[in-house]
Chains A and B, each alone.
Chain A
Amino acid sequence: MISFPTQVDRKKRFHQAIAFWIARIISYSILLILFFILFFILKRGIGVINWEFLTAMPSDGMTKGGILPAIVGTLYLVLMSMVIAFPVGVLSGIYVNEYAKEGAIKQFVKMMTNNLAGVPSIVFGLFGMALFVNRLGFGASILAGSLTLALLALPLIIRTTEESLKAVDDTFRHASYALGAGKLRTIRKVVLPIAFPNIITGLILGIGRVSGETAPILFTVAAYFLPKLPHSVFDQAMALPYHLYVISTSGTNIQASRPIAYGTAVILILIVLGMNLLANFVRSHYSRKVKMK
């Protein structure tokens, strides 16, 4: 019988412990940074948040009053861009993964989707202005802004849909075909329900991305100062990220606007958080419906 040197074991264990600790410290420090940012913003912004801040129009050159139009504008933009991007993105993902034959066209579509995901958001903004605002004549409006934001979120939703569908085991598809189900029915009744909780992740990511973007709405919808709520999709609107940008860089009195800027940031974070929670709830609801366990 060979006797293995005991030092080797000890050394192995030591190396392992070090590796774990490094990984642990790194992940904790990321959390720490996140908490620090949140704390910093909350500490400076929480003071200005009250009922009036949430429900009043900005006043006195945006140094006083509330941010209601920006909240409403952002909610409209997120909602409408997702209403546009989600079905289009999911259908595209289904096409790419389930219908498109392996080959040049599929590769091209996938490559273009990836490229689209890498395009800087200001370029989307310019494109949206050229196409939606000018060419199609929507003017600077919620419609034009939502369409631009939808384009921005589209690659994200297509990719997650594609990945979620790819993760569905082929044995489920085969079992369905073997029972005489066609392709469409198999996708609708078997594949999509299994993939849906993961597809919702795409929606969550899309919401997060869209609600915080400034550049795409800059030329397509955002108003510098508009103390009334939009009445139709052809109206301009204020939006939280752009409002934040305006009162921190080009307001009438930047110093006096500072607390409002932080308050706006807090509300923006809360909205994103709230939408993520909602999407998570939907996700777990569908997970329960799919009886994987």
Chain B
Amino acid sequence: MRTKIETNNVHLHYGDFHALKGINMQIPERTVTALIGPSGCGKSSYLRLFNRMNDLIDGVRIDGKILIDNTDIYAIPQSEVDRLRRKVGMVFQKPNPFPKTIFENVAYGLRVNGLKDKKLIEGQVEKALRQAALWEEVKDKLKKSAFELSGGQQQRLCIARAMAIEPSILLMDEPASALDPISTGKIEELIYELKSNFTIIIVTHNMQQASRVSDYTGFFLLGELIEFDETKKIFRNPEKQQTENYITGRFG
């Protein structure tokens, strides 16, 4: 399998705080990778490296190399960052649809990136909503506010919004942590289906979720990547004692 994302000895500092300590990882294309670990271990900070969302925080320093499709994404000019984010979509922890209509939420990314053709936008919106398994539920109320949807629907709308611009990577930061079990189940099903088109990286606190949806799992602890391997291996036969302690619930 081709390597989609590669990080070499990545360090991240928030001011004096050393949040990531020399992370090396190779993520294959069209797979789901789960990042697990206790709160504050650096897994979200690591996820946010890939679409340079950490840039928005003052006092962040990043060292090391982060390659997507063999391009160092921290060596590109500032003007290319928007283009990078078009390629690397993101779904946030809390559903955060815009206070716009359902249609406009999904169309936003298309318009922002210069699409004007009405037919094309409509087609793309429908496609994204179908991919997010939301089309049947919202096709008759596309002009309604996104805030009328339930939390689970809102999160699927956010997934559709991210997918509409056809990124090749989808970052998910605890996408189901604010949702009920049924909505969570739907999101997980969705992740499983999306794998054929996207490289997905998901941060999660939920062990079962990691083992259900992912092909690879990385375990973070205090800013270090303790273990990274196939999910089967991590959950059945981890190399490191710390990994085993964590997934068996002995701490965390």
Given contact pairs A171-B94, A172-B96, A178 touches B112 in the complex (Cβ within 8 A): no
Task: Tell which of B157-165, B191-199, B200-208 binds the partner.
Answer: B157-165
B108 at interface by CB-CB < 8 Å: yes
Of the stretches A36-44, A179-187, A211-219, the one at the interface is A179-187
Q: Is B60 an interface residue (CB 8 A)?
A: no
B45 at interface by CB-CB < 8 Å: no
Binds B, one of A20-28, A249-257, A285-293: A285-293
A175 in contact with B92 given A180-B82, A181-B112 (CB within 8 Å): yes
Instruction: List the A side residues contacting B51 at CB < 8 Å.
Output: 178
Cβ B145 vs Cβ A180 within 8 A? no
- A280 contacts the other chain (CB 8 A): no
Q: Tell me the minimal C-beta distance from B109 to chain A in angstroms.
A: 4
Tell whether A228 is near chain B: CB-to-CB under 8 Å: no
**In the complex, which of the residues B56, B111, B158 contacts A175, with contact meaning CB atoms closer than 8 Å?**
B158
Closest-by-CB residue of B relative to A186 is B112
Residues 183-204 of A contacting B (Cβ, < 8 Å): 185, 189-190, 193-194
Asked if B147 is at the interface (CB within 8 A of a chain A CB), the reply is yes
> Which of B7-15, B18-26, B28-36, B97-105 forms contacts with chain A?
B97-105
Interface size (B, Cβ < 8 Å)? 32
Tell me the residues in window 200-237 of chain B with beta carbons closer than 8 Å to chain A beta carbons.
none
Q: Are the CB atoms of A179 and B161 closer together than 8 Å?
A: yes
A121 within 8 A of B: no
B99:A291 contact, CB within 8 angstroms: yes
| Binding stretch for chain A, among B65-73, B83-91, B131-139, B244-252 | B83-91
Provide the bound-state CA to CA distance between A185 and B99, in Å.
Answer: 16
- CB-based contact B92/A177 at 8 Å: no
B146 interface residue, CB < 8 Å from A? yes
Looking at the complex, which one of B85, B100, B109 makes contact with A291 (CB distance below 8 Å)?
B100
Answer whether residue A113 sits at the interface, using C-beta atoms and an 8 A cutoff: no
B53 touches A178 (CB 8 A): yes
Check A166 for interface membership: any CB of B closer than 8 A.
no
In the complex, whether B113 has a CB less than 8 A from a CB of chain A is yes
With A171-B92, A175-B92, A189-B108 already in contact, the answer to whether A291 and B86 are too (CB < 8 A) is no
CB distance from B141 to the nearest CB of A (A): 12
A189 to B94 Cα, complex, angstroms: 21
User: CA A171 – CA B99 in complex, angstroms?
Assistant: 12
Establish whether residues A292 and B112, one from each chain, have CB atoms under 8 Å apart when the complex forms: no
Contact of B109 among A171, A179, A290, A292 (CB under 8 A): A179
- A-side interface residues toward B, CB under 8 Å? 102, 169, 171-172, 174-182, 185, 189-190, 193-194, 290-293
| CB<8 Å pairs between A and B, sample of 7 | A175-B158, A178-B51, A178-B89, A291-B99, A291-B100, A291-B101, A291-B147
